[in-house]
């Protein structure tokens, strides 16, 4: 396991941008805006998200341990019944350190066919590898056929994505709070970011609307649709959705403190950013 947080996030980021070329372009776009405020532009990461299967060897607690060891604490619990997912989020006592959202697929709720495919994948992982420094950005530890990928895709997009991409950040998230206003208009900062992205040709996830949540739930989120990248399956290569970029604007609770949790109804739609568009 890593002994310092910057090394872990640097490893996650390098792996993520290698299959998500849009991330660099989005950074350049956000940095290039000639702001009304003339504030210094900086891109702050609100959170990353990781995915796994709820099999003991690689379950959510195994991924979380990498962060617990670095001082993170478990906060919210989330359930996504239709997608058969359980999730938790983790925060570091230092609020400038990115939050972490980890979900796991409840494999036993899938068909026997899907359970068998996933069981074979997880069986190929060396149990020791789960504790390695680079495990959270180590990708797949197995061979999978495009036939099995497609079989999983029929039942669970999440399962199919995991079979192809394995262990890595599913997305990074720009903290919109830390961006200066892009224009003088009265639209929200997140809406301004969305407009900028669309004008530059990025495709946004429109499931549940371009903006999920809002001030009323203290968190507004949007995301791009995932980039495409080539995956080498045991029987050939396919270009499939890889990872995406999210944008989060957080609002204060009645207490005045900025909300640091997640909103299940919004996260449910964000998962669909890796659907084939």
Q: Which is nearer to Ni ion, 49 or 182 (CB)?
A: 49
Pairing, β 244-250 against β 171-175: parallel
Instruction: Calculate the CA 2 to chain-centre distance.
Output: 20
Place of tokens 């207490």: 255
Does residue 85 belong to the site contacting Ni ion (CB under 5 A)? no
Q: Interacting stretch for Ni ion, rule CB under 5 A, among 1-9, 35-43, 231-239, 241-249? A: 241-249
Q: Which is nearer to Ni ion, 92 or 120 (CB)?
A: 92
Structure tokens at 193: 């970011």
Place of tokens 């949790």: 261
Phi then psi dihedrals of residue 161, to 5 deg: -60, -45
Q: Interacting stretch for Ni ion, rule CB under 5 A, among 25-33, 41-49, 134-142, 198-206? A: 41-49
Does residue 60 belong to the site contacting Ni ion (CB under 5 A)? no
Does residue 246 belong to the site contacting Ni ion (CB under 5 A)? yes
Contact 204, 210 (CB under 8 A): yes
Q: By rule CB under 5 A, what count of residues binds Ni ion?
A: 2
Q: Which is nearer to Ni ion, 140 or 170 (CB)?
A: 170
Q: Which is nearer to Ni ion, 2 or 269 (CB)?
A: 269
- Alpha-carbon distance of 180 to 15, in angstroms, equals 28
Q: Which is nearer to Ni ion, 49 or 159 (CB)?
A: 49
Write out the binding residues for Ni ion, residues 199-228 only, by CB under 5 A: none
Q: Which is nearer to Ni ion, 61 or 261 (CB)?
A: 261
Three-state SS string over 157-188 comes to HHHHHHHHHCECCCEEEEEHHHCCCCCCCCCC
Phi then psi dihedrals of residue 142, to 5 deg: -150, 165
CB hemisphere CA count around 212 (13 angstroms): 24
One of 8, 23, 49, 122 touching Ni ion (CB under 5 A): 49
Residue 260 CB, shortest distance to Ni ion, in Å, is 13
* Largest Cα span, the chain: 58
Q: Interacting stretch for Ni ion, rule CB under 5 A, among 77-85, 137-145, 193-201, 245-253? A: 245-253
Q: Binding residues for Ni ion, per CB under 5 A?
A: 49, 246
């Amino acid at each position: 396991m890593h002994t310092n947080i910057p090394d872990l996030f640097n490893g996650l980021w390098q792996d993520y941008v290698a299959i998500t070329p849009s991330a660099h372009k989005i950074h350049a776009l956000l940095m290039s805006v000639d702001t009304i405020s003339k504030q210094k532009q900086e891109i702050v990461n609100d959170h990353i998200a990781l995915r796994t299967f709820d099999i003991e060897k690689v379950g959510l607690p195994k991924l979380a341990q990498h962060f617990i060891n670095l001082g993170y604490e478990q906060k919210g619990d989330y359930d996504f019944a239709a997608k058969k997912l359980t999730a938790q989020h983790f925060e570091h006592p230092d609020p400038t350190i990115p939050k972490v959202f980890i979900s796991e697929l409840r494999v036993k709720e899938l068909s026997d066919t899907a359970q068998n495919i996933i069981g074979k994948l997880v069986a190929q992982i060396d149990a020791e590898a789960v504790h390695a420094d680079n495990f959270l950005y180590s990708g797949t530890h197995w061979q999978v056929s495009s036939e099995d990928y497609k079989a999983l895709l029929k039942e669970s997009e999440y399962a199919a994505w995991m079979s192809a991409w394995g262990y890595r950040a599913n997305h990074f998230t720009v903290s919109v709070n830390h961006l200066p206003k892009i224009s003088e208009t009265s639209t929200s900062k997140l809406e301004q970011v969305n407009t900028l992205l669309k004008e530059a040709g990025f495709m946004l996830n429109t499931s549940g609307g371009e903006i999920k949540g809002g001030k009323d739930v203290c968190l507004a989120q949007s995301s791009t649709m995932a980039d495409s990248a080539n995956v080498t399956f045991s029987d050939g290569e396919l270009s499939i959705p890889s990872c995406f970029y999210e944008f989060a604007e957080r609002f204060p609770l009645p207490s005045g403190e900025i909300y640091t949790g997640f909103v299940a109804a919004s996260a449910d739609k964000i998962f669909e950013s890796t659907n084939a568009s």
